[in-house]
Amino acid sequence: MAQYDKADLERRMAGAVESLKGDLSGLRTGRANIQLLDPVTVEVYGAHMPLNQVATVSAPEPRMLSVQVWDKSNVGPVDKAIRSAGLGLNPIVDGQTLRLPIPDLTEERRKELAKLASKYAEGARIAVRNVRRDGMDSLKTDEKKGEISEDERKRKETEVQKLTDSTIADIDAATAAKEKEILGQ
């Protein structure tokens, strides 16, 4: 049976783009966005858990996030996790609620966020290239087994390359739009 599966390659490449868009949505642009805290993991109950599994995150004001911790004993670990996440946020503890004022973005911070967006994009590009490599390898395996001809392998390799190029173009477009938004252009 042939190993090459174009639908699987498309799904995996689309997954890399969606993952990138999720990462980019977590980069703040001066407005409160609950997705900003998605990368935060908290060490509670002897395990690392996403913040949304130990607290409710909301944006009550345009420049304020609110984190309502469910278990009072977890307030300290949540506070520590947010401070150490590298998001530039300093929580104000008010009982079981942490308030996170969103500071104005300085030019320096905007450049840091743009670099971070580029780093996320490069990770997505690498994931897409790995999927391309897997596709090419499966085509070569199919050819060695005699399941496809050399001409068919070359034609399908061209398809895989076109799919890769269009997916990387999507990644570049999403990154450019986010960088433009971050830099306020």
Question: What's the pLDDT tens digit per position in 4-24?
Answer: 888 999 999 999 999 888 888
pLDDT at 13: 93
In this predicted structure, what is the pLDDT of residue 17? 92
* 176 pLDDT tier (thresholds 50, 70, 90): very high
How is residue 96 written in tokens? 């079981």
Residues of the chain with CATH 1.10.132.20: 4-25+105-182
Place 29 in a pLDDT band, splitting at 50, 70 and 90: low
Tens of pLDDT, residue by residue over 88-135, are 778 989 888 999 888 777 788 788 888 888 989 999 999 999 999 999
Mean pLDDT value of segment 163-184: 91
- Quote the crossing angle between the two packed helices 150-183 and 107-144, to the nearest 10°: 170
Question: Which is more confidently placed, 29 or 98?
Answer: 98
The identity of residue 155, as a single letter, is R
CB distance 74 to 108 below 8 Å: no
What confidence tens digit (pLDDT) does each residue in 48-100 have?
888 888 999 998 888 888 999 998 998 999 999 888 877 777 898 988 899 98
Buried-exposed string 60-90: b where 16+ CB fall within 10 A, e elsewhere: eeeeebbbebeeeebbebbbebbeebebebe
Average pLDDT, the chain: 87
CATH of domain 4-25+105-182: 1.10.132.20
Amino acid 30: pLDDT: 65
**Closest C-alpha among 32, 37, 29, 36 to residue 53:** 37
Cα separation, 147 vs 139, in Å, equals 9
User: What's the topology of domain 32-99?
Assistant: Gyrase A; domain 2 (3.30.1360)
Q: What is the dihedral of CA 67, 32, 51, 123, to 10 degrees?
A: -170
Where in the chain are all domains bearing CATH 3.30.1360.40? 32-99
Structure-token pair, residue 130: 């790995």
Angle at 49 between CA 88 and CA 71, to 5 degrees: 90
